[in-house]
Structure 1
Amino acid sequence: MTARMPNPAIVAGPEVIPALLGVAGAVKNTGVPEATINLIYLRASQINGSSWNVHKHAADLKAAGESDERISTVAAWRETPFFTPEERAALALAEAATRLSDRQGDAVSDEVWAEAAKYFSDQQLAGILLATGLSNLWHRLIPTTRQAAGPVAG
């Protein structure tokens, strides 16, 4: 696969990457466990078919000490014993927020929201939503411009 252009977040100007990294840093300060945030990043990347992001976030999880079982089964988290109830609630919310157009009416059901709200404060829910939104932003940039999976440039 040949990239259509360099990463648009770099091409757009020198202030874009620091701004996006600033949002990512702020997400880390919302009280959501870092492992949960990284699982959200990986799952949203899988849903959106962003090979660059799947590769990156799987590597990030591995570097953070996550088990191969958890990394390799994120796409099937409902059918595995490797995730906590809190992680399951966060993944369900992230999936619903990523697949907004897959549902008629209420894109994120009351049941999904209530389950997440059992485990997370409003600040943490905001962190989950910001992580999901940021991840989905990258998934609009990276696949559209055909950025290949592999080492991060620069």
Structure 2
Amino acid sequence: MSFPKVSPGGFKAVYGVENYVQGVLDHQLLHLIKVRVSMVNACAFCLDMHTTDALKEGETAQRLFGLAAWRESPFYDERERAALALTDAVTVLERTGVPDEVWDAVVEHFGAEGAAHVLLAIGTINLWTRLNIATRKQPELAG
């Protein structure tokens, strides 16, 4: 099933949030969030798309590969680490919600509005991964 063809209005609505987030967040950080969510959710299509996009926009392979173990990797600054911790907490949401220390660190580094933008980015990519997994969207093999 092609979600955009079956539900063009739904696709347009989700893409609207995507466009908003792209306009308010640093693209390097946004790539890290998208790749990490794609890893956690095991979305092959999203992982292929977002790593390809990140590399084209200058992200390093080392930092992208390091996302699998970002807590142990020295490749991320404190701001990125705060966003990645929130990414993990929201993507694998516990019944108790996001831990206070995770949320507080994001607000400390991004401010309240910036934290909302990071949260929107995380929520949006989580929606995309779930739509792509549910509709069995697969990446194309590289030539």
Q: TM-score, normalised by structure 1?
A: 0.85
Task: With a CA cutoff of 8 Å and minimum separation of 6, indicate the structure with the bigger relative contact order.
Answer: 1
Q: Distance in 2 between matches of 1:22 and 1:70?
A: 28
RMSD: 1.5
What residue is the counterpart of 1:85 in the other structure?
78
Q: Give secondary structure in 2 for the equivalent of 1:121.
A: helix
Q: Give secondary structure in 2 for the equivalent of 1:148.
A: coil
Is the counterpart of residue 26 in structure 1 residue 26 in structure 2?
Answer: no
What residue is the counterpart of 1:142 in the other structure?
132
What residue is the counterpart of 1:125 in the other structure?
115
Q: Give structure 1 regions of 4+ aligned residues with deviation exceeding 2 angstroms.
A: 15-21
Alignment-mate amino acid for residue 46 of structure 1: M
> How many pairs were matched up?
141
* 1:91-102 equivalent positions in 2, closer than 5 A: 91-100=84-93
Alignment-mate amino acid for residue 41 of structure 1: K
Give per-residue Cα distances to partners, 1:57-116, cap 9 Å, x unaligned: 10011011011101111111111111111000001001101111xx34x22000101111
Q: Distance in 2 between matches of 1:126 and 1:29?
A: 13
Give per-residue Cα distances to partners, 1:119-150, cap 9 Å, x unaligned: 00222111111111111111221111211112
Alignment-mate amino acid for residue 22 of structure 2: K
Tell whether the 8 Å contact from 1:10 to 1:16 is kept in structure 2 after alignment: no
* 1:1-154 equivalent positions in 2, closer than 5 A: 5-6=1-2, 8-13=3-8, 15-30=9-24, 32-100=25-93, 103-104=94-95, 106-150=96-140
Q: Distance in 1 between matches of 2:124 and 2:44?
A: 16
Identity %: 36
Which has more helix, going by share of residues?
2
Q: TM-score, normalised by structure 2?
A: 0.91
- The unaligned stretches of length 5 or more in structure 1 are none
